Amino acid sequence: MLELLDYVLDLNDNFWIVGYIDNEFKGYIVYRADDNGDRFNHITKKYYKKCACHKFEKIPAYKKVFKPNKFYLEKKDELKGVWGKYIEALNKIGIEDSNIGIFGSYLVGFDIIKDVDFVIYGEENLYKYYENNEFIKEYTKSTYINEDHILRQYNKHKNDYHDKTDLLEIIKRNWSGIQVSEKVLSTPRFIDRKKQHILPDNNKREIITFEVIDGFKTAMLPRIAKVKYKDEEYNLETCLWKYQSFLKKGDVVEVYASINKDLKTIILVDHDCYVKFIKKGEKII
């Protein structure tokens, strides 16, 4: 069974990431085989280009699955320097190896160019991480995301999102990432294995304004927040990866999204949706 952040190698040797689960597994190509590509893969022995994010598609037939936790257990002892210290920090705060994984380029056979991408499983481990966030940064001699990196990320990704999306503010809200050098930031992805399925798009988009009651679990995948919409409590759900920790308690937000009024759920499905802050909250939790 596939899970969020698993990778698959399709029949044409393209690498897909599983990023969305409704009635079927959906994702997009992250690395496309290309003879003129700029990176070599040690598994397929081919060159690749990294693809920009685009709309989710049904995962096609595939010949290999890459599991983040299995790979982490195989490679843990090979990780040195800041990545070894990061693992030590996670273990010291009570996050066990069975709940840690590695995803991204390293998982699927590319060399480590800048950073290692980690995934942490279990809602309880999100709370452990948050409560020990300062310790993790001190132990790894890292910092919060810095202003230069915020601007680099914004300029790199702004054209991938709706022009009404307050992407700069969203990027600033990354509290869990570790900035280990001028251009290297690693942001863990938190996954609740008990809740990976979100509602499918009903293709009925609306402009909706709500107040955030609890946005803490927008650090997880799927990203889930409790919001107040027309005096009723709704869940907001999305799997868009750049929306890491994008909502805080007290935010008043305008979104263009799908809404299921029977199930009291608002869904940000793809980059045609947008997130615009009308009032900014002050509390993460």
pLDDT score for 202: 81
Which segments of 11-115 are extended strands (E)?
15-21, 25-33, 39-40, 47-50, 57-58, 62-66, 100-103
**SS3 call for 246:** coil
pLDDT at 168 over 80: yes
For 41-65, b/e burial (b = at least 16 CB within 10 A) is beebebebeeeebeebeebeeeeee
Residue 55 confidence class, pLDDT cut points 50, 70, 90: confident
pLDDT score for 53: 64
pLDDT score for 86: 97
Give Cβ neighbours of residue 151 (< 8 Å, ≥ 6 apart): none
Dihedral angle, C-alpha 188, 193, 194, 198, nearest 10 °: 80
The values of phi and psi at residue 69, to 5°, are: -70, -40
Which segments of 140-264 are extended strands (E)?
178-181, 184-186, 189-191, 205-214, 220-221, 223-229, 232-238, 252-260
The answer to whether the bond into 200 is cis (omega within 30° of 0) is no
Question: Model confidence over 251-280: pLDDT tens digits?
Answer: 999 999 999 999 999 999 888 899 999 999
d(CA 234, CA 226): 6
pLDDT at 97 over 80: yes
d(CA 8, CA 18): 8
Average confidence score pLDDT of the chain: 94
pLDDT score for 256: 97
pLDDT at 52 over 80: no
Question: Model confidence over 215-248: pLDDT tens digits?
Answer: 999 999 999 999 999 999 999 999 988 899 999 9
pLDDT score for 149: 94
Angle between helices 123-131 and 133-140 (to 10 degrees): 70
Question: Model confidence over 102-122: pLDDT tens digits?
Answer: 999 999 999 987 889 999 999
d(CA 161, CA 85): 34
In this structure, the number of other CB atoms found within 10 A of the CB of residue 27 comes to: 24
**SS3 call for 151:** helix
Q: Which residue has the higher pLDDT, 202 or 65?
A: 65
Residue 23 confidence class, pLDDT cut points 50, 70, 90: confident
Q: Give the single-character DSSP code of 272.
A: T
Domains of the chain: 1-65 (no CATH), 200-279 (2.40.50.140)
Residue 283 confidence class, pLDDT cut points 50, 70, 90: confident
Question: Model confidence over 169-217: pLDDT tens digits?
Answer: 999 999 999 999 988 999 999 999 889 998 888 888 999 999 999 999 9
Give the count of alpha carbons within 13 A of 29, CB side only.
16
Q: Compute the average pLDDT of residues 69-87.
A: 96
Angle at 170 between CA 84 and CA 282, to 5 degrees: 100
Q: Compute the average pLDDT of residues 51-66.
A: 89
- Tally helices (H) and strands (E) across the chain: 6, 19
**SS3 call for 10:** strand
Question: Model confidence over 151-165: pLDDT tens digits?
Answer: 999 999 899 899 999
Question: Model confidence over 208-222: pLDDT tens digits?
Answer: 999 999 999 999 999
